[in-house]
Structure 1
């Protein structure tokens, strides 16, 4: 990884993504989506397909899942059907996700150690995710991660989501830090594009979702295989 990430004298704060960066939530997504689809009398979607849909917020995830199951039998009408079903799908998805939130997910190895090391270096932490805040905060609490963060912002906290830079700029504003001294830690091109546009340095984990593509092809300042690698042992 690039040496920029080891010099924490450069940083006042870090903004950390949630899904695919701190917690492997693919099981939660797949379970909630398939319960939703079952309620709508639609076929299920495989976790491997869900993985490529994750990262752009729940609205995108639900619409993508609907298209995925509708298109094979009605490619010309799938878009219209997905739009017609969306409101009912969102209501069922929200119901099911809140019921199973965290039950089919796990904290990635090295996350707790990495967050502890960052805090020990005096780096202030905020969690910024495209996941709705009503899903994000209970998940962080269930996994014992909420105590690390001064601020938690979900995808519904601001007018636009990552990869738009607005959420990062607003998070820096809330922290009272400048983007150049605020490190973005994520798992996908969404995080990197938002960071670049906001003026934040960015490090990506190698194990996340990134829409089914290799993260190492993304423009970032460095890559790690574990958050524990962010801060070297003393």
Structure 2
């Protein structure tokens, strides 16, 4: 850990992201998206490309995957009329794609994913030191809650809010502000733990300290380049830091 000093007396609660922070769900995304694309008679997308699309909610993920496979050679045009036309084609398929994606994701949720090493130790450390915990993710609530349960993590959290729980998603600060309200804590004493610039931007705007893990999904960018208060290679470092 660097920058931030994990002193439990500094915080009353922690808000923890899900995908890329607690659970490596890239396998679930890949299987569900590629089943969806097959249903639409479209070619598959590689996990390496999917990893860069994760983090902004299912709508963004699906539209990004559609645009990726419909573009020439998997390289979407970056601007102009061609990019607008491609986005329009992807949007026209969205309703059908979302229905198929939801069908497949709910069928395999958690089967191709794994809890990252150190997560359970870190959550236990937070709880043992009196912090109240909430999970806040851009993943739909109907996906997030069963995943937490399947991985044995649901018992750590008083609340679990998905990307459809509030009017806006991270990186907007609204979900963090509303989660702090639910926890009954002020943002300055509520630690955000995530894996990407989405989490950091939302935390900064909401007034929450933010700690990022170094192993998750950050849209293909180096996570240590993100404006955050600290970084950890494992949530188990929280236990060692507070010991």
| Structure 2: 5+ residue stretches without partners | none
1:92 Cα deviation (Å)? Answer: 0.3
Q: Is the 1:5–1:203 contact (alpha carbons within 8 Å) kept by the matching residues of 2?
A: no
In 2: Cα distance, 1:181 partner to 1:3 partner: 17
Q: Which residue of 2 aligns with 1:20?
A: 20
What is the DSSP-based 3-state SS (H/G/I as helix, E as strand, rest coil) of the residue aligned with 2:4? helix
Q: Provide the secondary structure at the position in 2 that maps to 1:167.
A: helix
- Partner SS, residue 228 of structure 2: coil
Cα deviation per residue 1:122-145 (whole Å; 9 max; x = unaligned)? Answer: 011000000000000000000000
Structure 1 stretches of at least 4 aligned residues deviating more than 6 Å after TM superposition: none
TM-score normalized by structure 2?
0.94
Give a deviation string over 1:25-75, Cα, whole Å, max 9, x none. Answer: 000000000000000000000000000000000000000000000011796
Aligned partners of 1:113 and 1:32: how far apart in 2?
A: 30
Contact kept? 2:53, 2:60, Cα under 8 Å:
yes
Which residue of the partner structure matches residue 139 of structure 2?
Answer: 131
Distance 1:196 1:84 in 2: 35
Unaligned runs of 5+ in 1: none
C-alpha contact (below 8 Å) 1:5/1:230 kept by paired residues: no
Question: Which digits, 9 at most, give the CA deviation of each residue in 1:191-211, with x for residues without a partner?
Answer: 000000000000000000000
- Number of corresponding residues: 234
**Aligned CA distance change for structure 1 residues 68 and 3 (closer, same or farther; 3 Å):** closer
Q: Distance in 1 between matches of 2:95 and 2:13?
A: 38
Deviation at 1:168, TM superposition (A): 0.1
Task: Judge conservation of contact 1:192–1:202 (CA < 8 Å) in 2.
Answer: yes
Find the counterpart in structure 2 of residue 160 from structure 1. Answer: 168
